[in-house]
């Protein structure tokens, strides 16, 4: 059975990592821990039953509770198969920020961290170029990197 666990918004990965290490030490009735992009403030735990899930997450930091109604297999399949909104951003692409303090600025992509959905960029048209790490969703590609086809 799958249970939705309410956690402090923005702390989903931290809580999941903490619970994962706890599960690896012998939580027999816990089968998986799922983090879904777009579900801020929630993680999903696959457990034998609601009691096992509640006992597993009780007294953990940043855990706010367990929703009483479990998710069905169909609901989980829908959530997991939702298409990712992540763009196809590559190293050396030119991006433009569409939100945040750098809105309207252009930057060159230096590095991509797909696990965190982050990009490290260097702002263009500034006196001192400084690397900035931000979420992929804050920028859109305006010019693809030139590939060498030889």
Q: Which tops the pLDDT comparison, 120 or 114?
A: 120
Domain-located, residue 61: yes
Q: Sorting pLDDT into bands at 50, 70 and 90, what band is 150?
A: very low
pLDDT over 80 at 109, yes or no = yes
The structure's pTM equals 0.56
The 10s digit of each residue's pLDDT in 33-64 is 998 877 889 999 999 999 999 999 998 999 99
What does the pLDDT read at residue 38?
73
Residue at 73 is within a domain: yes
The domain of 27 spans 2-80
Residue where one domain finishes, among candidates 26, 49, 80: 80
Q: Under DSSP, is residue 44 helix (H, G, I), strand (E, B) or coil?
A: strand
Give a yes or no: residue 89 inside a domain. no
pLDDT for 132 equals 92
Contact (Cβ atoms closer than 8 angstroms) between residue 102 and residue 132: yes
User: Could you tell me if 21 and 68 lie in one domain?
Assistant: yes
Tokens 């990592």 belong to residue? 17
Count of domains observed in the chain: 2
């Amino acid at each position: 059975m799958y249970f939705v666990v309410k956690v402090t918004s923005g702390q989903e990965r931290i809580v999941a990592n903490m619970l994962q290490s706890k599960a690896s030490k012998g939580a027999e009735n816990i089968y998986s821990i799922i983090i879904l992009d777009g579900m801020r403030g929630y993680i999903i735990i696959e457990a034998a039953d609601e009691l096992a899930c509640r006992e597993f997450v009780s007294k953990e930091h940043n855990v706010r509770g367990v929703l009483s109604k479990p998710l069905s297999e169909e609901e989980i399949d829908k959530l997991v198969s939702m298409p990712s909104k992540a763009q196809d951003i590559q190293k050396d692409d030119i991006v433009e920020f569409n939100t945040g303090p750098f809105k309207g600025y252009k930057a060159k992509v230096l590095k991509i961290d797909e696990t965190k959905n982050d990009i490290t960029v260097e702002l263009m048209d500034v006196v001192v170029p400084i690397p900035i790490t931000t979420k992929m969703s804050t920028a859109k590609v305006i010019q693809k990197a030139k590939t060498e086809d030889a």
